[in-house]
Structure 1
Amino acid sequence: MLIQQSFVDIETASGPMRTAIYRPQQSGRFPAIIFYSEIFQLTAPIARSAAIMAGQGFVVLVPEIFHELNPVGTVLAYDDAGKDKGNQDKWSKSLEQHDSDTQALVDFAASQPFCHGNIGAMGVCIGGHLAYRAALNPAIKAAFCLYATDIHSDTLPAQPGNQSFERMADIQAEVHFIWGRQDPHVPAQGRLKIYQQLLASGINFHWQEVNAQHAFMRDEGERYDPALALTMYQQAAALFQRAL
């Protein structure tokens, strides 16, 4: 399916949020996926991932997840300076601000003539956490979370009682978790903690661990696993085609 790309500045509770839109060229109404990036924002690998998903028949919205903290269009490099800035932004923005961003994206999708109203979430790294977090919003019907960081540690800024781990039972969506066994950011102990909480919560989830490192989806660098990435895109598309 041929796709087109555009940008829009969506008003949020904490200011305008530049968002890339990838969607089919053909006319019609399609389900939407909010695609949450890594800390580096809308890099070339993230853009290619969004395009792949759009080509399966989805409207893919990619927001600048730290729009309050950077000039519009900021893309951080995959180097130490970019990593340090991205992590600084991660510790500076509250989960409540991310929640209001998600609601703004939901409202935007609901108002577009090319969206039919069903919305899912997908993300990598902190974006995997934000996709999981988005599933707290009742408008999100399914989430595909790739190596989601900081859920097990409850370390992102949030109001008391509003951490992502402790709010797990509030999720009504179907959530798929994909983890790399060689990922130091979410070690075995952290994965076990999340899995046990999922069992206790009773939510609808799918769990998959693969032999891969952190950022195995990113098609730049030595950790990229092309065959595994292709499988993940197929699984994500299957989830959203069924759930949305």
Structure 2
Amino acid sequence: MIIQTETVDLTTPTGEMRTYVYRPVAEGKYPTIIFYSEIFQQTAPIARTAAIMAGHGFIVLVPEVFHELNPIGTVLAYDDEGKDKGNQDKWTKPLESHDSDTQAMIDYATQLTYSNGRVGAMGVCIGGHLAYRAALNPKIAAACCLYATDIHSDTLPAEQGNNSFERTPDIKGELMMVWGKQDPHVPNEGRFKIHHKLIDAGVNFTWHEFNAQHAFMRDEGDRYDPELALRVYGMAVDLFKRTLLN
């Protein structure tokens, strides 16, 4: 499926948010996936992932997740300087501001003439956490959370009682949780903690652990696993076609 891309600046309570839109060229009404990036914002690997998903018949929105803290168009490098700045941003922006970003994208997506009105979420690293967080919104029908960081550790700023782990019982859509067992950012005890919370909360979810490292989906760097990435893309497409096309 041939796709097209464009940008839109959405108004949020914390400022203008540059959002990159990937969508099929063919006429029709398509479901939307909000795709949350790593701390580095829309790098080339993130753009390629968005294009892959859009090519399967989805509108994909990629927000600049730290738009309040950087000039529009900022992309951080995959180096120590970029990592330090990205981590500083993630520890600065409260989860409540991510919530309002998500609502702005839902409002935008559902009024598009080429949208079918159904919305899901997907993300990698902190973006996996933000996809999990987005699923607290009842408009999110499904979320694919790839090696989601900081859920188990409660290290992102939020009002008391409003962290993502504690709010797990509010998730109504279906989750797909994907992990690398060699990921030092989410060790065994962290994954077990989230798994038990989802069970106790009665959330509809699937759980997938692979012999892989953190960021195994990123097609740059020595942790990339192409075979596994292709498999997980297929799983994500299946999830969203089943939940967003009904």
**TM-score, normalisation: structure 1:** 1.00
The residue number in structure 2 matching 1:217 is 217
2:74 is the counterpart of 1:109: no
Q: Distance in 2 between matches of 1:86 and 1:7?
A: 22
**Structure 1 residue 111: deviation in Å?**
1.1
Alignment of 1:118-137 (within 5 A): 118-137=118-137
Query: What secondary structure does 2:46 align onto?
Result: helix
Deviation (angstroms), 1:228: 0.4
Aligned mates of 1:40, 1:161 — CA distance in 2? 28
Q: Secondary structure at the match of 2:21?
A: strand
Cα RMSD over matched residues? 0.4
Aligned to 1:187: 187
Aligned twin of 2:242? 242
Displacement after TM superposition at 1:131 (Å) = 0.2
Stretches (4+) displaced over 3 A: none
Residue 207 of structure 1: how far off its partner (Å): 0.4
5 Å-filtered alignment, 1:61-140, equals: 61-140=61-140
Q: Secondary structure at the match of 2:156?
A: coil
SS of residue matched to 1:108: helix
Q: Which residue in the other structure is 2:53 paired with?
A: 53
Indicate yes or no: 2:24 matched with 1:15.
no
What is aligned with 1:168? 168
Which letter maps to 1:179? W
**Structure 2 counterpart of 1:109, which letter?**
A
Distance 1:4 1:14 in 2: 28
Letter in 2 for 1:49: T
* 1:88-144, Cα deviation, whole Å (9 max, x unpaired): 000000000000000000000011111110000000000000000000001000000
Counterpart residue type for residue 130 of structure 2 = L
SS in 2 for 1:57: coil
Q: Which residue of 1 aligns with 2:42?
A: 42
Partner of 1:151: 151
Counterpart AA for 1:183:
D
Shift of residue 8, structure 1, vs aligned partner = 0.3
Deviation at 1:32, TM superposition (A): 0.2
CA–CA distance in structure 2, aligned partners of residues 21 and 42 of structure 1: 12
Give the fraction of aligned pairs with identical amino acids, expressed as a percent: 68
Deviations 1:142-172 (A, max 9, x none): 0000000000001100000100000100100
- Which amino acid is 1:52 matched to? I
Deviation, structure 1 residue 199: 1.1
Amino acid in structure 2 at the alignment position of 1:212: A
Amino acid paired to 2:240: F
Matched residue SS, 2:148:
coil
CA distance in 2, matches of 1:198, 1:140: 17
> Structure 1 counterpart of 2:44, which letter?
A
CA separation in 1, counterparts of 2:56 and 2:34? 14
Structure 1 residues 29-86: Cα deviation after superposition (integer angstroms, max 9, x where no partner): 1000000000000000000000000000000000000000000000000000000000
CA–CA distance in 1 between the matches of 2:207 and 2:130? 17
Letter matched to residue 138 of structure 1: P
Shift of residue 198 of structure 1?
1.0
Q: 2:145, 2:72 → 1: CA distance?
A: 26
Q: Which runs of 5+ in 1 are unaligned?
A: none
What TM-score, normalized by structure 2, do the two folds share?
Answer: 0.99
Post-superposition offset of 1:28: 1.0
